[in-house]
Amino acid sequence: MTSRTTSRLTGRLTGRPTGTGLGAAARGVFLTLTAGFVLLPLAVVVLSSFSADEVADGGWPNGWSLRWFREALEYEPFRVGLAYSLQVAALATAISLAVGAAAAYAIARYRFPGAALLRAVFVMPLSLPRVVTGFCLFVLYASLFPTAYGTVGGIAFAHCLLLLPFVVSVLGAALAGLDPALEEAARDLGASPPRAFLRITLPQIRPALIAAAVFAFITSFDEVDTSVFLMPADQTTLPVAVFLRLEQQQDPTVTAMSSLLIAGSLLLAAAAALAARGVGAALVAREAGTGEPGEPKETRGERTA
């Protein structure tokens, strides 16, 4: 009874109208249905991958088996593709973080002519359809840099175009929320600019860095629309291999590989969320420790006394 009154009160205070029980029930049903719609295709993939059937037809499995997972991991294009995708994603993430962090830092901290224009330039790739990017880089590689076609470097180079807008905006937002005085203080105390950046600014934007890195990695790892133009069909990244095989046939090997991809993405996201929260909690703890200097000082005083 009291908790309901309090929640209604907080609802009033936060400006969120609290509905009647009927309205809340209707909203609950609607959200549950939507969650079902969102999860259904993923659930059916996971379910079918444990099937013992010879063909994946989307129906309820007649028996259960793990053999499609073994076949998926033994299927050559998937195995090669997995290693290929991991290399591309790691390289593209590293490049876009280094280049993007430098650009975001300059735009956030320095005032120079053209800064506003640059901010627009760094989000421009978002309005470029990925297929157009893929086609153009394909023609570019084919006519000027034939050695880049179908290589880790060539594909990572293309993926940076998709990752940079995201990295720059996330890191830019994090940097804008910081107090530049801290870094200036470090420099006044004798730290070199790179050292001040690494020791003072970088630790403060670590949650944003982790978020940007994880999202960049997943985006690059899952990328199909651009990549499909940039590699020969017999040696491709993992999602492109899945795509090309799906165009030909549907079989349980693809289903099992898809399940592994779902599990991988969710695990990575969960790990990143935990890491970001851990870092955040550590920061809060440290701030709480330094923010109230009264108590520790007193205890120290007592101990010495």
Partner 1 sequence: MTGHDKAQPPAPVAARRRRLIAYALVAPGTAYLLLVFCSVILLLFSYSFRTERSSRLFAPFSTETWSQALGDDYQLGVLWTTLRVGVVVTVLTVALAYPVAWCLYRVRRWWVRGLLGFVIFSPILVSVVVRSYGWMLLLSPGGLLAGPLDGWLYHEPGVILALVHVELPFAVVPLLAALRTLPPGVLEAAADLGASPARRLRSVLLPLTLPGIVAAAQLVFALTVSAFATPALLGGGRVTVLSQSVYQNIQQLNWPLAAVQALLLLAVALVVLSVFNRLSRLVDVRQRRDRKGTIA
Q: Under rule CB under 8 A, which residues in 35-94 are in contact with partner 1?
A: 35, 37-45, 48, 56-60
In single-letter form, the type of residue at position 303 comes to R
Q: Does 284 bind partner 1 (CB under 8 A)?
A: no
Q: Exposed e or buried b for every residue in 193-222, given b needs 16+ CB within 10 A?
A: eeebbeebbeebbbbbbbbbbbbbbbbbbe
Of the listed pieces 11-19, 65-73, 278-286, 294-302, which binds partner 1 according to CB under 8 A? 11-19
Q: Does 210 bind partner 1 (CB under 8 A)?
A: no
Choice between 143 and 304, CB closer to partner 1: 143
Least distance CB 266 / partner 1 (angstroms): 7
| CA separation for the pair 174, 271 (Å, rounded) | 21
**One of 9, 52, 66, 118 touching partner 1 (CB under 8 A):** 118
- Sign for the pseudo-dihedral over CA of 53, 58, 60, 65: positive
- Structure token pair of residue 102: 């430098």
**One of 2, 5, 63, 112 touching partner 1 (CB under 8 A):** 112
- Structure token pair of residue 258: 């898809």
Is residue 257 within 8 A of residue 78, CB to CB? The reply is: yes
Q: Under rule CB under 8 A, which residues in 119-138 are in contact with partner 1?
A: 121-122, 124-125, 127-133, 135-138
Q: Does 140 bind partner 1 (CB under 8 A)?
A: yes
Least distance CB 183 / partner 1 (angstroms): 13
**One of 2, 3, 143, 290 touching partner 1 (CB under 8 A):** 143
Of the listed pieces 68-76, 171-179, 252-260, 285-293, which binds partner 1 according to CB under 8 A? 252-260
CA atoms within 13 A on the CB side of 259: 19
- Structure token pair of residue 287: 């701030």
Q: Does 161 bind partner 1 (CB under 8 A)?
A: yes
| CA separation for the pair 9, 182 (Å, rounded) | 40
Is residue 196 within 8 A of residue 103, CB to CB? The reply is: no
Q: Which residue in 110, 109, 229, 92 sits closest to 166, CA to CA?
A: 92
Helices 238-248, 252-291: crossing angle, 10 deg rounding: 150
Least distance CB 304 / partner 1 (angstroms): 37
Least distance CB 42 / partner 1 (angstroms): 6
**One of 9, 25, 52, 142 touching partner 1 (CB under 8 A):** 142
241, containing H or E segment: helix 238-248
Q: Does 239 bind partner 1 (CB under 8 A)?
A: yes
Q: Does 285 bind partner 1 (CB under 8 A)?
A: no
Of the listed pieces 26-34, 70-78, 169-177, 291-299, which binds partner 1 according to CB under 8 A? 26-34
Is residue 156 within 8 A of residue 95, CB to CB? The reply is: yes
Choice between 152 and 237, CB closer to partner 1: 237
Choice between 151 and 250, CB closer to partner 1: 250
Q: Does 266 bind partner 1 (CB under 8 A)?
A: yes
The 3-state DSSP composition of the chain as helix, strand, coil percent (nearest 5) reads 80, 0, 20
Q: Does 198 bind partner 1 (CB under 8 A)?
A: no
Q: Which residue in 212, 217, 185, 215 sits closest to 101, CA to CA?
A: 212
**One of 1, 17, 116, 293 touching partner 1 (CB under 8 A):** 17
